[in-house]
């Protein structure tokens, strides 16, 4: 399964987070591929699921 397939399933698929709208900022990098972006999404979701984040209010 590709990173894109994993991210799509985790965000939008059955039993997912049921995301309807999402946005990301990657700065001025123009060399990112869709797989790079999907990998970043999956890494972020992995960290959240593991409790490895800091809540900012």
pLDDT (tens digit per residue) in 5-56: 999 999 998 999 888 888 878 788 889 999 999 999 999 999 989 999 888 8
CB 38 within 8 A of CB 44: no
pLDDT number for residue 35 = 96
Domain membership of residue 39 as a residue range: 1-13+30-57
Residue 29 CA to residue 11 CA, distance in Å, equals: 24
Domain-embedded: residue 56? yes
Give the end-to-end CA distance of the chain in Å, rounded to a whole number. Answer: 35
The pLDDT value recorded for residue 30 is 83
Note whether residue 46 is domain-resident: yes
Whether residue 18 lies inside any domain: the answer is: no
Tally of domains in the chain: 1
Report pLDDT for 53: 82
At 47 the pLDDT is 93
Distance CA 11, CA 3 (A): 12
Q: Would 20 be classed as within a structural domain?
A: no
């Amino acid at each position: 399964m590709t990173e894109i397939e994993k991210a799509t399933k985790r965000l939008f698929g059955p039993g997912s987070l049921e995301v309807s709208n999402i946005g990301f900022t990657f700065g001025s990098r123009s060399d990112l591929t869709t797989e790079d972006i999907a990998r970043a999404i999956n890494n972020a979701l992995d960290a959240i699921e593991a409790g490895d984040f800091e809540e900012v209010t």
